Structure 1
Amino acid sequence: MKEAIAVYTKIPNVTDIKIEPFDVNKRYTKPHRHNKYIELVYFKAGSGFHYVDSVAYKIEPPIVFGISNNEVHHWEIDTVPEGFVIIVKDGFLEKTIDKHINQQLYRLNKEQVIKVQPDESIDKLFEVLCLEMKQHSIQKEVVEGSLKALLGKIIGYSNRVECMVEIDKAVHFEELLLQELRNDVAFYADLMSINVAQLNAICKKSFSKTASQVITTHIIQESKRQLLYTDRTISEIGYSLDFKDVSHFVKYFKRHTAITPLTFKQNGILV
């Protein structure tokens, strides 16, 4: 009997992004999947192969590999590698100040390999990000600004210059959620001039979630913000999020967080 494909979690629960030098001890790994995160790996030195769903990609630096959380991959690296790794959890994408970063990450994540040219600025941006990630108090604006610049440089070398319609629609969906938050998939599908099935397909490809699950994530996040940072009553918060009945809002919140809105507000901890 074959063993189940391993599922790796390479990033602590307390953080949503990790940027660090590539671990030279990971030259040979077993096939595995990622646990709810995407990964970008940049090599400026090294040789060997990267296997994604049994397809072999030759490591020819400088090169970038994108790995999504549903792909099975492993490394077979012949020489000592030199490079960097970016690991991003869903939580980071949900909390970005600049949503253009999400679009950049979705775009790169759709490409399994990007051949870049020797570019000192890419190396420097990675070094800046690694240094910032080591700080006791990480400045979100510095991380996002440097990351956006780095991803922009890498995208500039991408062979896929055509407009990525599905990614653009996924970003548009998130923008609509920020403008008006309703627990209604059909409402957003109508605004985007597509049907519910199409919106679900876009969300599955871009977020590995249904449209309803994406909406739920935003509703719970906004609920927590209002509970902690406003003087609104629980009823007012529920109505502001398009719940017609406060009891429905309380049940919805508890179903997705395991605690009531009042308990969350009293604890005063954003989780």
Structure 2
Amino acid sequence: MKNPIPVYDLKTFTPAADAGRECLVEVFDGRRPSRAPFPHRHDFFEVLLLHQGSGTHTIDFRLYDIRPPCVFFLSPGQVHTLSPSADVAGFLFLFTAGFYLVDKPDANRLFDLPFFYNLEGESRPLYLQSDTQLEPLRQLFEIAVREYDAAHGEAAEVLRPALDLLLALCKRLYPAQPPEAQKTKGRLLVKRFMQAVEAHYLDCKSVKDFAGQLSVTPNHLNETVKACTGRTASDLIKDKVMLEIKRSLLYTDHTVSEIAYRFGFTDQSYFSKYFRGREGVSPQVYRERAIKSS
């Protein structure tokens, strides 16, 4: 029987000797043991640099090619399945928000990075165009791996600056957002809203609920989200709920009625009508087609 998509914390991926550490840096290749079955999601951030290999990386139903050199980014809560070739090679940096922000005066620093909680709802990898772009990133990873493996008491004093430089360089190289998105005020509010929706989509259903969490008015939240994304705050909440419904249909054995109940639909016929209105097919047909094509 399929279980709900698991959410893993950093302890799942760190060796027993590293328990309690808020980051993990390691070489990523075909010899690396798989510590969690796919698909899964994390409650931490991930940066994966690949300089060799091929394959695909599916993130929230979007399929991306592994075309080295490239960098993949994952925000907490995203469901992914990595399908690399046997000769894949690169580096992996996993870290909690607390690890990154502990010495930052700006608590919203992570939201300023375009590849985390992307406003366009995508997780596009960074495809590097030359060795000149790759080498500084590779060198930073090599330093971080050595420092992590040495397990010095002061390792964090090296790992945090290395992560800072890594993310800053990736931000500089990452495809530019549309000019209107860059200039629009309120991007940080929208990213905070997206993070809140990720964490509370089951117990908060209205724009008013999330506005209260964010200490703004519902009108201000709606106007800001609309200015940044072209869509309303209610649209983004519904999109998140629909994404989770589709995940449940594809990755669990729960019946349609069980899934409907989990997401607050007491009437299965209304749930089916609602789903068909957004996806064009019934939940059961969607499940059958998705399983056939997977």
What TM-score do the two structures reach when normalised by structure 2?
A: 0.53
Change (3 A) 1:5 1:108: same
Equivalent residue, structure 1, for 2:7? 7
State the number of aligned residues: 191
Give the distance between the partners of 2:91 and 2:62, measured in 1 at CA: 22
Equivalent residue, structure 1, for 2:47? 40
Cα-to-partner distance string for 1:239-266 (whole Å, 9 max, x where unaligned): xxxxxxxxxxxxxxxxxxxxxxxxxxxx
Matched, 1:149 2:149: no
Match of 1:18 among 24, 30, 33: 24
Equivalent residue, structure 1, for 2:267? none
Give the distance between the partners of 1:65 and 1:186, measured in 2 at CA: 30
Equivalent residue, structure 2, for 1:67? 74
Match of 2:90 among 83, 87, 90: 83
Match of 2:141 among 96, 102, 126: 126
> Match of 1:112, as an amino acid?
R
- Taking only aligned residues, the RMSD between alpha carbons, in angstroms, comes to 3.9
Matches within 5 A, 1:193-232: 194=220
Question: The residue matched to 2:40 in structure 1 has which SS?
Answer: strand
Change (3 A) 1:7 1:68: same
Report if the CA contact (8 A) 2:28-2:90 is conserved. Answer: yes
Cα-to-partner distance string for 1:15-72 (whole Å, 9 max, x where unaligned): 2122211142469874333331111111011111111123221100010111222222
Give the distance between the partners of 1:15 and 1:95, measured in 2 at CA: 13
Change (3 A) 1:57 1:26: farther
Give the distance between the partners of 2:164 and 2:220, measured in 1 at CA: 30
Matches within 5 A, 1:245-264: none
Give the distance between the partners of 2:190 and 2:49, measured in 1 at CA: 26
Matches within 5 A, 1:151-166: 151-162=167-178, 163=182
> Match of 1:65, as an amino acid?
F
Give the distance between the partners of 2:169 and 2:101, measured in 1 at CA: 23
Change (3 A) 1:38 1:123: same
Give the distance between the partners of 2:112 and 2:27, measured in 1 at CA: 19
Cα-to-partner distance string for 1:163-195 (whole Å, 9 max, x where unaligned): 28555447999xxxxxxxxxxx689648xx945
Report if the CA contact (8 A) 1:44-1:82 is conserved. Answer: yes
Change (3 A) 1:172 1:48: closer
Could you tell me which runs of 5 or more consecutive residues in structure 2 were left unpaired when the two chains were aligned.
194-211, 226-232, 238-294
Q: CA deviation at 1:74?
A: 1.1
> Match of 2:57, as an amino acid?
H
Question: The residue matched to 2:104 in structure 1 has which SS?
Answer: coil
Question: The residue matched to 1:32 in structure 2 has which SS?
Answer: coil
Equivalent residue, structure 2, for 1:258? none
Report if the CA contact (8 A) 2:26-2:145 is conserved. Answer: yes
Cα-to-partner distance string for 1:119-161 (whole Å, 9 max, x where unaligned): 2111111111112223321344432222222112112221134
Q: Percent same amino acid at aligned positions? A: 22
Q: CA deviation at 1:98?
A: 5.9
Give the distance between the partners of 2:112 and 2:140, measured in 1 at CA: 16
Change (3 A) 1:98 1:15: farther
Question: The residue matched to 1:136 in structure 2 has which SS?
Answer: coil
Bigger RCO (CA 8 Å, 6+ sep): 2
Could you tell me which runs of 5 or more consecutive residues in structure 1 were left unpaired when the two chains were aligned.
174-184, 206-271
Change (3 A) 1:94 1:152: closer
Change (3 A) 1:99 1:87: farther
